[in-house]
Structure 1
Amino acid sequence: MHVRHSRKARMAAALVSLAALAACGQQPAGDSGAAGTAAPTTRFTENGVTVTLSVSDWHASKGTVTAVFTPERKGFHLYSIDLPATGIEDVGRPTAMAVSGVLKAEGRLTAAQDVRSISVPGVDAPVPVYPDGPVTTTLPVRADGDGNATLLLGYASCSTQDGCTIPVSDRPVQLRVTGDGPTFDAH
Structure 2
Amino acid sequence: MGQVRRPPGARRAALLSAALLSAALLLTLAACTGEDDDRAADAPSASFTANGVAVTLRVTAWDGRHGTLTADFVPQEPGFHLYSVDLPPEGIDGIGRPTSVAVLGSLRAHGKLTADAPVRRIPSPGTEETLPVYPDGPVTTTLPLTADGPGPASVSVGYALCNATEGCMLPVDDHRVPLTVTEQGISFTGN
TM-score, normalised via structure 1 length: 0.80
1:168 counterpart = 2:172: yes
CA distance in 2, matches of 1:121, 1:144: 44
Partner of 2:53: 49
Specify the alignment match of 1:12 in structure 2.
Answer: none
The yes-or-no answer on 1:90 pairing with 2:101 is: no
Deviation at 1:161, TM superposition (A): 1.1
| Code of the aligned partner of 2:139 | V
SS of match in other structure, 1:90: coil
Match of 2:37 among 31, 53, 72: 31
Instruction: Extract unaligned runs of 5+ from structure 1.
Output: 1-28
Equivalenced residues, count: 157
Matches within 5 A, 1:43-82: 43-82=47-86
CA distance in 1, matches of 2:125, 2:150: 49
Q: What displacement does 1:124 show?
A: 1.5
In the alignment, does 2:110 pair up with 1:106? Answer: yes
Deviation at 1:32, TM superposition (A): 4.8
Q: Does 1:140 align with 2:144?
A: yes
- Find the structure with the greater CA-based Rg: 2
Describe the superposition over 1:73-112 as per-residue Cα deviations: whole angstroms up to 9, x where unpaired: 1100000000001101111000001111000101010001
Q: Secondary structure at the match of 2:84?
A: coil
The TM-score with structure 2 as length reference comes to: 0.78
Instruction: Tell me: CA distance 1:162–1:80, structure 2 relative to 1, closer, same or farther (3 Å).
Output: same
Calculate percent identity across the aligned residue pairs. Answer: 52
How much does 1:40 deviate? 0.6
- Structure 1 residue 42: deviation in Å? 1.1
> What root-mean-square deviation, in Å, do the aligned CA atoms of Structure 1 and Structure 2 show?
1.7
1:180 aligns with 184
Match of 2:153 in 1: 149
